[in-house]
Structure 1
């Protein structure tokens, strides 16, 4: 397929590279053009403008927040003005439910198609083509871009013909990730202050009842205080929890733990942790207990 890719951060660069490996004709755009150079060396075309990335069958976007996505779609020369009729915008960004609804309606009004396909996985999974994808949108639209989804992920879970539902699922998942990080941090702080070896404790947990990647990955980051460079910045984690709470407010779903997590992220950010990995909230409990931390 002929596809544009917009947003070459840590996740986007791996996804675009896998599209190339799968044989798709890829045109890439990023606000910082230098980030496209490695992909151009692999066979991608570099677009000087957003419009130049919109000449194909589809455009995939992987952007950091609502503000960036709004500018790319609705700004002058953006997707809405540039995508051909019938072409598909595949949004893999973690954005608000409200913006996803707005994008779906705007693309439909312009005769274009829209699918919300946020992803689960860290940059190493993106580079390996091992992301898990959650898709929302009309069945025909998702089917049309399935070859692209197969190139960047190992599984696609179609959850609804309403695009926004995929965003709710993504936000709920990131809430669960953050909940695990916080609970791990508190447990590790407790045993650490009691004199138990933290690495030995983690090895016990992850070789028995918590033998899962999430506990191994984030537990290791917390035990090693390995928060730089960030694979997923704390500022983005804070953003995602706020978006989850906004969705919960709209649906009248109390989420008291999400409110706590919002405050934990605020604490980390207030101490200059914006660019640390979001796993750094797991070090706050140790710091609160007088044992140091992020």
Structure 2
């Protein structure tokens, strides 16, 4: 299902604040933080197979068990209510409370590592509801950069190459829902005022970026002169951040990082870059 804005729901500020205060006592997983430069990306599993909070890695759950709220989900009455009101529970695999700030996530595709899970149990659709966010938090899909606003409900096409950035030290907190595919089933959400499927990313959520100046592109490529395995993350972060501020064209981040790596004096850097690109965008096993 393509990325699209679905609806906006009113959030109860005091009840949400109480739940988020309680969630600060949780032991968050840092699973998938290898996708970040900066970070970490932390999550607490609120709904899962067997009601197991687990380690946060989606491959490490017993999918043959009944799905239910975890010990963490049971401590958050307002978020429980929100989840059960919004989602089709018969298709719901996971709900995670995800916290992220002052970092970038490398362009990647999700669900690649779930191939061994049976079709009728494997997560195939994703939904986001931002609970706390700010204007310095961005998503991108291919070459489109956009924002999700607080209380908005979004279908999110995690199978497409996407990235996320936070330029703020303030935490961005989302509810992330994963659903199983069910041919012929109804909508994933039960909202009466949801938009028709296929609406896409609204123009007023899209970030208009100036084209990347030629001089800046040239300067990025000159980073090859200093790129080593020791500073690989820092330089890749510069490239990804540039993607969110300027329009460098399709596949800008990976193409640019690959070009920089080709110019590095250390041949291990290019090999590492190509391996990462394969892992994050083409084929992956956990």
Higher strand proportion: 2
TM-score, normalised by the number of residues in structure 1: 0.31
Higher helix proportion: 1
Higher RCO, Cα 8 Å, sep 6+: 2
